[in-house]
Amino acid sequence: MRILVTGGAGFIGSHVVDAYLAAGHDVWVLDDLSTGRREHVDPRAQLVVGDILGDLGPVMAAARPRVVSHHAAQKSVPASVEDPRRDAELNVLGLVNVLEAARAAGVTRFILASSGGALAGERLPAREEDPPTVSSPYAVSKLTGEHYLALYARIHGLETLALRYANVYGPRQTPGGEGGVVPIFMANLRARAPSRLYSPPGMPDGATRDWVHVADVARANLLALTAQAGGVFNIGSGREVSTRELYRLIEAAAGREAPLLPAGERPGDLGRSVLDVRRAREQLGWEPAIALEAGLAQTWAWGEKTQG
């Protein structure tokens, strides 16, 4: 199957590309390399360096994809608060530009990287149908993206799946995104330097998050190619882990220790977050396969090889 992966040179997108190639698919990548890296793209994929906000006619005509997997985005919650216009430009107008180009090119299925962490509601573990607590421009733009997908499904018959990722971690990750604390803690431990523990009020062990390994996320994207179901799917582990526990697990994976220093509250940080992944299990046949302990050990080993 011919697939165009936008953002395919990025952390998650490049693993999605790898999973598609391993399954024998014909993969094209559209990426402006703003945060992504050319060396993350397997040479068997066709890389087109370009902007999702540009004229996408030529790349669609060349790639003639049946499926678009849309991973190009502005991914930082704090950056969206700083510059909501840029967030909306990339995550809303960029998405609409890709959707329109996909429609014009006869694409039949569209997969969107959405966010479970940013779109969780009050009830935990968060379910897809719960009303989200929208607390950042990034959450607004991701939710808007999901609405666009539902609309294109209804009025244009496009098959759409929005995958709401929890906090993703794994090889090739850089600090700055939703799961950026893992590479930060690992880099500090590698330098034997202390790390900072931000804690929302009343949570001395730090905020809680749901961690999912990037290879599990890539496999969800593979299943999304042929799934009979459409709509919104949480992709997480269902396990709620505090920052302090995460740090201890990383220390264990690294086989070394360094102090974790209390750093107070960080404005805008969500207190608790964990996803209910039953829908993905039942409708996509997806289940997280990599336990956090094993995934952190693998990620540490990758870091030792590339940065050690």
- Catalytically active residues, by annotation: 138
247 is an interface residue for ligand NAD by CB under 6 A: no
Token pair in block for residue 182: 């893992």
CA dist 301 and 254 (Å) reads 8
197 is an interface residue for ligand NAD by CB under 6 A: no
Chain centroid offset of residue 249 CA = 22
At closest approach, how far in Å is the CB of 174 from ligand NAD?
Answer: 7
Closer of 148 and 165 to ligand NAD (Cβ): 165
Token pair in block for residue 52: 């999702």
Q: Backbone phi, then psi, for 209, in 5-degree steps?
A: -140, 165
Among 35, 136, 221, 234, binds ligand NAD (CB under 6 A): 35
Nearest to 248 by CA among 307, 184, 202, 293: 293
CA dist 162 and 184 (Å) reads 28
CA dist 200 and 287 (Å) reads 30
| Residues in region 86-145 near ligand NAD by CB under 6 A | 90, 94, 113, 115
Residue 153-192 contact track with ligand NAD, rule CB under 6 A, x = bound:
------------x-xx--------xxx-------------
Residue 47-86 contact track with ligand NAD, rule CB under 6 A, x = bound:
----xxx-----------------xxx-x-----------
Name the pairing type of β-strands 231-235 and 195-197. Answer: unpaired
| Amino acid at residue number 307 | Q
Among 11-19, 20-28, 126-134, 253-261, the segment contacting ligand NAD (CB under 6 A) = 11-19
Residue that has been written with the tokens 């379910």 in this structure? 127
At closest approach, how far in Å is the CB of 142 from ligand NAD?
Answer: 7
Closer of 26 and 32 to ligand NAD (Cβ): 32
Residue ranges binding ligand NAD (CB under 6 A): 7, 9-13, 31-36, 51-53, 71-73, 75, 90, 94, 113, 115, 165, 167-168, 177-179
